[in-house]
A and B are shown apart, each in its own frame.
Chain A
Amino acid sequence: MARMSVSRFYAYYGENAALRDISLEIPDRQVLALIGPSGCGKTTFLRSLNRMNDFVKEFSIEGHVTLDGVDIYSSEMHPVMLRRRVGMVFQKPNPFHKSIFENVAYGLRIQGVRSRTILSDMVEKSLRAAALWDEVKERLDSSAFSLSGGQQQRLCIARALAVEPEVILLDEPASALDPISTSRIEELIQDLKTQYAIVIVTHNMQQAARISDQTAFFLSGELVEMGETSRIFTNPSDPKTEDYITGRFG
């Protein structure tokens, strides 16, 4: 079943079309990997799914993106409500200048949650889900900056989970991390997909092959092909896909 659906989607920066005629379905409880060379539009696409591009001047779109059947660019969906349902983790860990606890609690606090019990429960639940609880449970009041880069990124994932989103967008979440931290994030993504629809942008072909169920290959603002990851990597239908995944360009 598709959680989000994109049809005939175009994105523009001023006059330049960054994405052209994209149509695809984002399945629930699966990992969709977006791959393609730098500048192919995969990050623009990812950021279009929670309207983070709204802050970019001169950005405009055509076409439709729906979440559970509701067009996210229509007046029926407020961007603030959309972003509570479609969470995002960025390339570089960006914890707030707050304690570990307050970082995870932030999303709930801005929704007006005041109860200490509810906050504590959600913080623990989210940190457990992000596989960080055992490492930080003794020092929830320490600054988020006392954590390592990999821990900070898992904290950012916990922070995103705390507001109970339905879809999680990950923009190269492990590209700034060492191999051990990367494998922890990858394991975590495998756990999370049992509950969430996950879309991940990655430059790392092996990573896409390891963790995703579906793979979409973008090139020059167009979706070349999308399908089961195993098929895309073993038997792509488009020669451009094959050239890219075998390392002939990009």
Chain B
Amino acid sequence: MDRSRSSLSFARQFRNTVLGSLTFLFFGVAVAPLLLIVYVAWDSGKSVLDWSFLTTLPTGFPVGSEGGILNGIVGSLILVFLASALSVPVGVWAGMYLWQEGKSPVAHLVRLLSDLLLGVPSVVWGIVGFYVFSTSTGYGLHWGFSALAGGLTLGFIMIPIVTRVTEQALREVPLSYIEGAFALGASRWQTLRGVALPGAMAGIGTGILLGVLNVLGQTAPLVFTNYYNTGIPNSLVGSQGAVGDLAMQIFIYVHEPSKAMHVKAMAAALVLLMIVLVIDLGIRLLTWGSRKIASRV
């Protein structure tokens, strides 16, 4: 048999091999930082990582040299909950609005503002949050350094992320399904609720996830709105309303001139990664049905 008709040319084989290797190489470069973080955090933090580390409050001097990080775990979850409570409804509604309005001038304006908001440095959000929620002078709501002030400030950061991803996810629902609903006499709202939204749930879940993960790692906005608490507050507002926060806790521990505190910071980082993983899996599970739908299209 004529060899030229039965096998790839050397040049093509060579290209395939090179491109294949490059793909693998870049994949390796992409995951290396993650593996590095996990390795470093595990290697230096594993000695203090046990059940009581997760379930006790920090004590000792400096505070944290004894005890665990329960304040940070509880506080982070409270902040994420508050941030989501603000940003998910607002962001999803704004995304639905953008989907409906499409190319109207107002929609373009909202999109532009939303992109600008994505570019605002988080420390600026912190200052805005301080003036709006925390301070007792100026425009403030006088909530003090509190979970509510911090959570809502983080919510502001999440809103544009959820908005843009929601709009995108709705746009990816095939037009033929949208038209199918319209052709049966569905109104825009009925089409959105009954056909577009269910088809976009997986994408919206991803948007919420991106927002939550972003917010979980923020420290700068909290410096001016919540800061830190070594205990667990019984109020979300007022001078006693601040909560602990894992990212802030890591930041503070790393600044202590003490090896023991650095080890605890590493262990806390590992816990933060685990929380990220659990939230990721949770949202994937919740939108599983929609994901299956999307793969059939």
Contacts and interface: CB of A to CB of B under 8 A. Distances in A.
Interface of A: 50, 52, 55, 57, 80-81, 83-84, 87-88, 90, 92, 94-97, 106-107, 110-111, 145, 156, 159-160, 163
B198 A97 contact: yes
B103 interface: yes
Instruction: State which size class the interface on B falls in.
Output: 20 to 34
A83 B184 contact: yes
B296 A97 contact: yes
B185 A159 contact: no
B260 to A, nearest CB: 55
Contacts of A90: 176, 179-180, 183
Nearest to B176: A94
Given A97-B296, A110-B190, A160 B179 contact: no
Given A57-B103, A92-B176, A97 B293 contact: yes
Given A52-B179, A90-B176, A110-B190, A96 B195 contact: yes
B195 A83 contact: no
| Most B CB within 10 A of own CB, among A110, A145, A160 | A110
B182 interface: yes
Contacts of B181: 96, 106, 110
A210 to B, nearest CB: 25
A96 B181 CA distance: 8
Given A80-B185, A81-B185, A83-B182, A110 B177 contact: no
Contacts, number: 65
A87 B183 contact: yes
A77 to B, nearest CB: 12
B184 A159 contact: yes
**B contact face: mostly helix, strand, loop, or mixed:** helix
A126 to B, nearest CB: 12
Contacts of B185: 80-81, 83-84, 107, 110-111, 163
B194 interface: yes
A147 to B, nearest CB: 12
Interface in B189-222: 190, 194-195, 198-199
B182 A52 contact: yes
Contacts of A55: 179, 182
Contacts of B103: 57
Interface in B89-119: 102-103
Nearest to B189: A110
B183 A88 contact: yes
7 contacts: A52-B182, A55-B179, A83-B182, A83-B185, A84-B184, A90-B179, A97-B296
Given A57-B103, A110-B190, A160 B183 contact: yes
Given A106-B194, A110-B190, A111-B185, A97 B180 contact: no
